[in-house]
Structure 1
Amino acid sequence: MKLLVLLLLPCLSLSEVVPGFAKCNQFFLKNDPPQFTPQWGKSVKEICQCVWDETDQQKYLYATLYNTALKIPIYSAYVFGSESVGRCDVWYIEPQLDDANGEPCMAPKGRKTINNQAVNSDYEKQDPNKPSYDKGHLYPVQHTYDHISMLATSTLTNAAPQESVFNRGEWKKHEAAVITDLGSCTEAYVVTGVVPETNIKLKKVTVSKYYWRATCCLKKPQLIGKGYFGPDNNGKVQTLSITALQTQLEKDYKIKNIKIFPSIPPGYKRPLTGGCN
């Protein structure tokens, strides 16, 4: 029956609110989520994003730390791939964020009032006298590796408002450049997040001050890390070390001791510069 539903709704995705990322920690380097304790308390939820596969089994594709108060993700973490499929932009919400006993399957809004997450209408009928915002993917379609992983990105728990000009311009170029940069890695882990601009709202959804991304390339005997954020003051994407990115995030999130990639796998060495932690 679940497979039939997926065939009838080809952009249907599924996810679960799972404390501690217990079902999807494989999307973090050495199964270790970022050392990252935001100040928002109970409004922060850990989501394992997945879909039904062709054998009617849940297949987990990435992990998201979501803020139900700001109604945007804090970050999404995934194992890097390279897009080889078409794109589907039918967007769904996570029922379990508003009902702990709700179905894990992503679904349209339906009749129920949604309090803890964004919905499509939050991005519609924007003020023409203000900047236009897209649903900006944290786990982007360009970095997926098959049709199922592409489907799983089409959830509003994996998106935050991103200025349209930046999303379709400099950030899109950056995402393409990451594909080239990580193409020779044996394996690569990525964490993409947003820093909220808490005083600016798109209806009830908090606008992002900027997007950031951290990549960790496994290429024995070393781990090669890079950090990015944008837009900077010039509307560009800035490249920096993981250490510098963590320092920037500590300042903007107003928290201490952020480690995006806390652990080093056995057999790898930390370079003097350009490492993943």
Structure 2
Amino acid sequence: MRNLIFFQLLSSVCFFTLSEVVDNHFSKCTKFFLDDTPPDFTPPTGVSVKPICQCLWDDHDEQIYLYATLYSTSWKIPIFSAYVFQSPNIGRCDAWYIEPQLDGDSEPCMRPKGYGKNIGQNQAVTKDYYNSFYDKGHLYPVLHTNNHLSMLATSTLTNVAPQNPTFNQNVWLEHEKAVIKDLKSCEVAYVLTGVVPDTNIKMNNKVTVSKYYWRATCCLEKGQYIGQGYYGPDNNGLVKKLTIKDLQNLLKGFYQIIFFPNIPAQNKKPTYTCN
């Protein structure tokens, strides 16, 4: 039955995606983290978070995991999304989905509308953005995808936060393009993109607006891992470049996070973290 649904959906430009709320260790999608190790994250007191493995069903009835997201059901925005960067080569199709499992729905597949009575209690829904004067700011951006499935999977409300339109469409967009050039020569590059919430501003009296965006990259080049941090908007309205360590220290004012923990996998040589 799933195969039939998949082929029917494949015939259209945009089709439904699926994600999965998983355990705190992202056990089904650790491949998107350096050394299969998710960041060490300590949420502020009273803030609830849920790990999500974002994925699709393929034509063999198998799940394809495309990236990972840590989502705050308290703030109704993601904390971060993690992905492996690949040189982009794809167009864009916006079909916005939500994650039913966050609100206790048994349906595992994303869908553009929630029909359960509790849908929207623990997450943002499309109507929350109506007349809000905020953009849906991607964490895992379409610009950093290189295939149709990854592109579709980025357009879920669990991968976006309310973002200032001017910053999103200008400075942050140019930053996303610059990162493509920075990571072009990497053998492999792990990327984390996250949000700092402005807890004093809520869109629709519900969804916390983003105050800052940040990105941390870890690039393997010539046998060495090289880390780079980004943070914006800074005092000049631009994106600031800084070390991984400095970015982690900067974020301590909002929450505790270590992007690339130095925890070697078993039976492997230790991987030196980006710092």
Output the CA distance in 2 between the equivalents of 1:42 and 1:252.
Answer: 12
Residue 153 (structure 2) aligns with: 152
Worse overlay, 189-198 or 212-221: 212-221
Distance 1:55 1:84, change over 3 A: farther
Letter in 2 for 1:123: Y
> Once the 2 structures are TM-superposed, how far is the Cα of residue 4 of structure 1 from its aligned partner?
3.0
Answer yes or no: is 1:55 the counterpart of 2:56: no
Superposition map of 1:254-273 within 5 A: 255=256, 258-263=257-262
- Paired-residue identity, %: 62
Question: TM-score by structure 1 length?
Answer: 0.90
Superposition map of 1:80-95 within 5 A: 80-95=85-100
Answer yes or no: is 1:17 the counterpart of 2:15: no
Pick one of 102, 108, 114 that aligns with 2:112: 108
Superposition map of 1:156-171 within 5 A: 156-171=157-172
Distance 1:8 1:103, change over 3 A: farther
Q: Secondary structure at the match of 1:23?
A: coil
> Once the 2 structures are TM-superposed, how far is the Cα of residue 202 of structure 1 from its aligned partner?
1.0
Distance 1:37 1:195, change over 3 A: same
CA contact under 8 A between 1:35 and 1:260: conserved in structure 2? Answer: yes
Worse overlay, 19-28 or 78-87: 78-87
> Once the 2 structures are TM-superposed, how far is the Cα of residue 88 of structure 1 from its aligned partner?
1.1
> Once the 2 structures are TM-superposed, how far is the Cα of residue 41 of structure 1 from its aligned partner?
5.5
Superposition map of 1:127-142 within 5 A: 132-142=133-143
Residue 195 (structure 1) aligns with: 196
Distance 1:185 1:264, change over 3 A: farther
Residue 68 (structure 1) aligns with: 73
Q: Deviations over 1:62-86 (max 9, x none)?
A: 0000001110000000000232121
Q: Deviations over 1:153-199 (max 9, x none)?
A: 01000000110000000000000000000000000000000010001
Ranges in structure 1 where 5+ consecutive residues have no aligned partner: 127-131
Output the CA distance in 1 between the equivalents of 2:113 and 2:44.
Answer: 29
Residue 179 (structure 2) aligns with: 178
Residue 129 (structure 1) aligns with: none
Pick one of 229, 238, 242 that aligns with 2:231: 229
Q: CA RMSD in A?
A: 1.8
Distance 1:104 1:269, change over 3 A: closer
Tell me how many residue pairs correspond in the alignment.
264
CA contact under 8 A between 2:262 and 2:271: conserved in structure 1? Answer: no
Residue 128 (structure 2) aligns with: 122
Distance 1:109 1:262, change over 3 A: same
Output the CA distance in 1 between the equivalents of 2:91 and 2:202.
Answer: 32
Q: Deviations over 1:109-150 (max 9, x none)?
A: 233232110011111123xxxxx3100000000111211111
Q: Deviations over 1:235-271 (max 9, x none)?
A: 1000000000000011222x4xx3100137666875x
Worse overlay, 240-249 or 46-55: 46-55
Ranges in structure 2 where 5+ consecutive residues have no aligned partner: none
CA contact under 8 A between 2:7 and 2:59: conserved in structure 1? Answer: no
Q: Deviations over 1:19-52 (max 9, x none)?
A: 1211001000010000111125672100000112
Question: TM-score by structure 2 length?
Answer: 0.90
Q: Secondary structure at the match of 2:42?
A: coil
Letter in 1 for 2:261: P
Q: Secondary structure at the match of 2:166?
A: helix
Output the CA distance in 2 between the equivalents of 1:168 and 1:212.
Answer: 16
